[in-house]
Amino acid sequence: MFSYQKRLQYPINIKSKNIEMAKLLVTQYGGSNGELSAALRYLNQRYTMPDDRGKALLTDIGTEELAHVEMISTMIYQLLKDATVEEIKAAGLDPHYAEHKRALYPTDANGVPFTVAYFATTGDPLADLSEDMAAEEKARAVYENLIDLTDDEDIRGPLLWLRQREIVHFARFKELYDMYKKELKK
């Protein structure tokens, strides 16, 4: 089961609204390489990992990704909270406003809604862990794109931090992949 801790894994305190950035950041919530996709991918794949190392790692990284969903969601919420309708229109977020007002909705940066088609499960631990490694690298790349697109340190700080988590997760998945690759052949 899961329980909630009423704190962010890393603090988010965005002082200036920024509708344009909210529109872009949302891809790390509901885009193909985003945190929601990561959480569901790992939490779904963990059941059929071949031993307890894999079950533990996918459970723990999948759970951390839920904390990252919360961080990204918090950023979007804070960026949009005080936006006027005029500002929302000017940023091209009026279609979002029509459907959701200032509420959050998991889409990519083009407004395409989240879908579980963004991830796979094959039941083959090497294939699944390869996907997980690729997912971490793609998320890292998207974080770098987003870091390039902002000069607000309240936004950039958490993005740098989240990018670093992708690097650690990639390394852990790769370690496990390499161990399984050797051991499962025997």
Q: Give the number of other CB atoms < 10 A from CB of residue 186.
A: 4
Quote the DSSP letter at residue 113.
B
Sign of dihedral through CA atoms 182, 141, 96, 84?
positive
Q: Should residue 182 be labelled a site residue for another protein when binding is judged by CB under 8 A?
A: no
Query: Please, what is the minimum distance in Å from the beta carbon of residue 56 to another protein?
Result: 4
- Name which of 60, 64, 77 is nearest 162 in CA terms: 64
Region of 18-26, 53-61, 111-119, 123-131 interacting with another protein (CB under 8 A):
53-61
> Tokens 């969601």 — which residue?
73
- Binding positions for another protein, 72-131, rule CB under 8 A: 73-74, 77-78, 81
The string of DSSP codes covering 80-94 is HTT--HHHHHHTT-H
Nearest to 118 by CA among 33, 27, 23: 33
**If binding is defined by CB under 8 A, does position 8 make contact with another protein?**
yes
Site pattern 131..160 for another protein (x: CB under 8 A) = -------------x--x---x-x--xxx-x
Q: Which stretch binds another protein (CB under 8 A): 25-33, 48-56, 92-100, 130-138?
A: 48-56
* Cα 97 from Cα 34, distance rounded (Å): 22
CB of residue 117 to another protein, shortest distance in Å: 28
What is the maximal distance between C-alpha atoms in the chain? 64
Query: Which one among 1, 2, 6, 186 touches another protein, defined by CB under 8 A?
Result: 6
Q: Which residues bind another protein (CB under 8 A)?
A: 3-15, 52-53, 56-57, 60-61, 64, 70, 73-74, 77-78, 81, 144, 147, 151, 153, 156-158, 160-165, 167-169, 171-172, 175-176, 179
